[in-house]
Amino acid sequence: MLLFLKSIPRLYRSARKDLGRHFPMVFSSALSIGVALLIAMLLIVVAANVNQFTNSIEEELVIQASINPTADEQTKTNLYHEIQSLDYIKNVRYSSKENELDQLIQENGDIFSQYAQEGRNPLYDIYVVEVTDPAQIDQVSQQVEELDGIQSVNYGGGSIQKLVSIFQGLRQYGSLFIVGMILLAVFLIRNTIKMTIHVRKDEIAIMRQVGAYNWYISTPFVIEGMMIGFWGALIPSLLVGIGYPLLYQNLHGVFISDLFTLVTPIPFLFWVILGLFALGLGIGMIGSYLAVRKYIRWIR
């Protein structure tokens, strides 16, 4: 171990010298890896924001159960306890029709203020029902609608569920595509290191004959792979570090509507950039190892 630590500066200089010797090949490999990591980075940013959108939608998913206008106070109290006793119920809140009208006026302007006069309010008293699992909202809404004293229920219907399903599908397939881009980057580094090793096969044979350790022969190639991965990660890191804050600022932190809020740049970008460099170094190490192990006997 001590010998290995003492040899690191020399091995690093050897790796850097060899990178300069094969600069065109190294540059093309780093550029290709940068493109692959750029695509992976874009998918990570999209996946993070889609996850934010999904969580926002799920938080807004509530059931509005309209109470029959003929129901008395005892019936309303019984309905409250019956809804509370159902499965997947997180919270039940009563809202009078006056409160609902005030909220409608506040959200849509004075166009509905004419209904605030005595006896002109067409709305219902409602129970606002929150569920613990958004996937069960359709089942819960059907159970609530079957209760005596409930006029109707509304939660957005199948369109909201379909939107949530689309977002979940985007997250899943996006993750698979990210893995694919990472494997592509590993393949590119592996091929680059293999070509470098092939060029230096005579040098490696001489080093073997004079008794050089396997780690002494292979470590420069691993360092080369890590440096290629680092350079490949530099381009997408700069792009996301500059581009995403500008996008966030121009869109004022929302996408299309206030329901779709973007992930705030800090600390999100810190973790994305850190992850990109970790990916680049890790990909370089793995790709180099896969290439070197075919040419170096690890056990003498």
Residue partners of 214: CB distance under 8 A and separation at least 6: 296, 297, 298, 300
Q: How many CB atoms lie within 10 A of CB 270?
A: 11
List of long-range contacts for 100-107, beta carbons under 8 Å, 24+ apart: 100/124, 100/126
Distance CA 210, CA 141 (A): 79
Contacts of 179 (CB under 8 A, 6+ apart): none
Q: 224-255, pLDDT tens digit by residue?
A: 888 888 888 888 888 888 888 988 888 887 77
Average pLDDT over the chain reads: 76
174 pLDDT higher than 50: yes
Band the pLDDT of 58: cuts 50, 70, 90: low
Predicted model pTM: 0.64
Name the pLDDT band for 164 (thresholds 50, 70, 90): low
Domains of the chain: 9-57+160-295 (no CATH), 62-155 (3.30.70.3040)
- Model confidence pLDDT, tens digit, residues 111-128: 666 666 656 677 788 888
- Cα–Cα distance for residue pair 107/93, rounded to 1 Å: 20
pLDDT band at 109 (very low <50, low <70, confident <90, very high): low
Task: Report, as an integer, the average pLDDT of 136-153.
Answer: 84
pLDDT of 142 over the 70 cut = yes
C-alpha–C-alpha distance, residues 258 and 252, integer Å: 10
